Amino acid sequence: EVQLVQSGAEVIQPGESLKIFCQGSGYIFARYWIAWVRQMPGKGLEWMGIIYPGDSDARYSPSFQGQVTISVDKSSNAAYLQWSGLKASDTAMYYCARQADTGYDFDHWGQGTLVTVSS
Amino acid sequence: DFVMTQTPLSLSVTPGQPASISCRSSRSLLHSDGKTYLHWYVQRPGQSPQLLIFEVSNRFSGVPDRFSGSGSGTDFTLKISRVEAEDVGIYYCMESLQLQYSFGQGTKLEIK
């Protein structure tokens, strides 16, 4: 069974750094792109970026380029999303999702990581 | 930026009645490989999004056949033939061409 398990909720102060993860299991992790999607409170879904674990090729939405870094560790079947200086406006639920091998849809999603940035 | 526009943004449906959601893209979603990369997701209350339909009209594994997708080019439709209580949630279309993705604003489905 394909599963994406994300790290737990975080409460972070403005200006701090953070790295959250998404761990895949039940499939060959290196062969499927992993995307990150933001959902701000009460709002819709926004695609942030995507990475191919096989060669760490990462692509970003222009809206998030330079704001976050997406990385991967094949040895632990994990993808990461990190910030170097969080702002209150980064408060959101963050989902990872696996891109299907037959197309460009996201066929499996993680449970989400809630990041709250507050002093 | 490529824009996906969904209508309506909300709808209230009596159980057993049909529902329809429209999604319009600012660019053609027909790829040079002949496929059209338009997909539909539902986010039920308190849950992660789930894939319903991929490439316009293909139901994902386990999705009931009361859900169907249609369309081409820039105009697409998700239909629910007979709405059930469990269909409550927010429905999103998403386009994916060349490793860039855009979601529609979402359509909130409520049960009367």
- Top residue of B37, B92, B101, B103 to mutate, by most chain A CBs within 10 Å, is B101
Q: Which residues of A touch B (CB under 8 A)?
A: 33, 35, 37, 44-47, 50, 59, 61-62, 95, 97, 100, 102-112
Sign of the alpha-carbon dihedral angle for A81, A43, B67, B102:
negative
Q: What is the pLDDT of residues B23-53, one digit of tens each?
A: 999 999 999 999 999 999 999 999 999 999 9
> B101–A61: do the CB atoms touch at under 8 Å?
yes
pLDDT interval class at A113 (50, 70, 90) = very high
Is the CB of residue A101 less than 8 Å from the CB of residue A34?
no
For residue B54, is pLDDT > 70? yes
> B103–A47: do the CB atoms touch at under 8 Å?
yes
Q: Give the residue among A117, A69, A109 at the shortest CA–CA distance from A90.
A: A117
Q: How far apart are the CA of B62 and the nearest CA of chain A, in angstroms? A: 12
Query: Between chain A and chain B, how many beta carbons pairs sit less than 8 Å apart?
Result: 69
Q: How far apart are the CA of B59 and the nearest CA of chain A, in angstroms? A: 11
For residue A82, is pLDDT > 70? yes
pLDDT of residue B1: 67
Give one DSSP letter per residue of A36-95, joined into a string. EEEE-TT--EEEEEEEETTTTEEEE-TTTBTTBEEEEEGGGTEEEEEESS--GGG-EEEE
**Alpha carbon of B35 to those of A101, B16, B25, B56: distances in Å?**
14, 33, 15, 9
Whole-number average pLDDT of chain B: 95
- How far from each other are the two terminal CA atoms of chain A, in whole angstroms? 40
Integer-rounded Cα radius of gyration of chain A: 14
Q: How far apart are the CA of B99 and the nearest CA of chain A, in angstroms? A: 7
Is the CB of residue A113 less than 8 Å from the CB of residue A37?
no
- Which 20-79 residues of chain B touch chain A by CB within 8 A? 35, 37, 39, 41, 43, 48-51, 54-55, 60
pLDDT of residue B100: 86
pLDDT interval class at B99 (50, 70, 90) = confident
pLDDT interval class at A78 (50, 70, 90) = very high
